[in-house]
Amino acid sequence: MKRPLTNALALLTLATPATGFAQCAPNKPILAAHAVPVIHYRSAMIDGVKVFYREAGPKDAPVVLLLHGFPTSSHQYRNLIPLLADRYRVIAPDYPGYGQSDAPDHKSFSYTFARMADVVEKLTRVVGADKYSLYVMDYGAPIGYRLALKHPNKVQSLIVQNGNAYDEGLKEFWDPIKAYWAENTPERRKALEKLLTLETTKFQYTDGMGDVARISRITGSWTRHSSIVPATATFNSICSAITAATSRYTHSSRRSSANISRRR
């Protein structure tokens, strides 16, 4: 009785590795692997200002223009760009004063949303983007909205992420800024300095985040963007002031948004 049992165990032992290998064999991929799109890091001279931008995707594909917010740059779209670049030509600029673009003195360069929109518009001409979809976020909204109102025939679609277009969107957080709009004094200006601190920049990343460990600090995030804040403090104070122009401008946006759809 012992020999048949021993023989059976030996056969089972010999069969086990093959069975284990079959179980551990890698599955065939369901989807074919895609090549990672190449991202180009370029710059263009716009009215004497070096404007940095990221570009990826086929030259003949539909264009998606990614307009960043504050206090970020095109860096905020570093993970989105590869996901779009297999089907779209993606262009993501840094505005003057942000990221890797020049930051000219405010005495020679007007830091208004209208001026930023003008720079972005001229960049689209340089890169040959005659039509485009706008992806706007935060400060990108008043810039993108101006492009849409000025050239509705060029805008193929509008994707809005946290881009306010109404006075109702300017809640209590904006009260100190509104006070500065109403009274442009050193005291009102100083009250806004806290908006440019590391803690406030960090707050913009962590507020509402359930697990802050998911925020990458190695690839940039608040550490990267806070590093540019001191150098652009004057610029951002000016931008806070001219945001008032956005507030006034949004009244006309309500009337014009319907016109954009009708004229397309």
| pLDDT at residue number 189 | 86
* Cβ atoms within 10 Å of 63's Cβ, excluding its own: 22
Contact call for residues 157 and 165 (beta carbons, < 8 A): no
Tokens of 161: 């992420």
With beta carbons less than 8 A apart as the criterion, state whether 156 and 87 touch. no
Q: d(Cα 169, Cα 130) in Å, to the nearest integer?
A: 32
Per the structure block, which two tokens stand in for 150? 């000025």
SS (H, E, C) 52-109: EEEEECCCCCCEEEEECCCCCCHHHHCCHHHHHCCCCEEEEECCCCCCCCCCCCCCCC
**CA gap 191, 247 in Å, rounded:** 20
Q: Cβ distance 135 to 62 under 8 Å?
A: no
- Where the chain has pLDDT below 50, the residues are 5, 8-22, 24, 29-31, 218-220, 226-231, 233-235, 237-238, 240-264
pLDDT tens column, 145-164? 999 999 999 999 999 998 88
- Quote the CA–CA distance of 65 and 129 in Å, as a whole number: 9
CB of 153 closer than 8 Å to CB of 145: no
The answer, yes or no, to whether the previous bond of 71 is cis (omega within 30 of 0) is: yes
Report how far residue 109's alpha carbon sits from residue 106's, in angstroms, rounded to the nearest whole number: 5
CATH class of 39-263: alpha beta
Instruction: Check residue 13 and give its pLDDT.
Output: 47
- Starting at the edge strand found earlier in the chain, the sheet holding 63-67 runs 39-46, 49-56, 89-93, 63-67, 132-137, 155-161
- Domain boundaries defined on the chain: 39-263
pLDDT of residue 25: 53
17 phi and psi angles, rounded to 5 deg: -60, -40
Mean pLDDT (the chain, rounded): 77
Tokens (6 digits) for 226: 């806070």
Secondary structure class of 219 (helix, strand, coil): coil
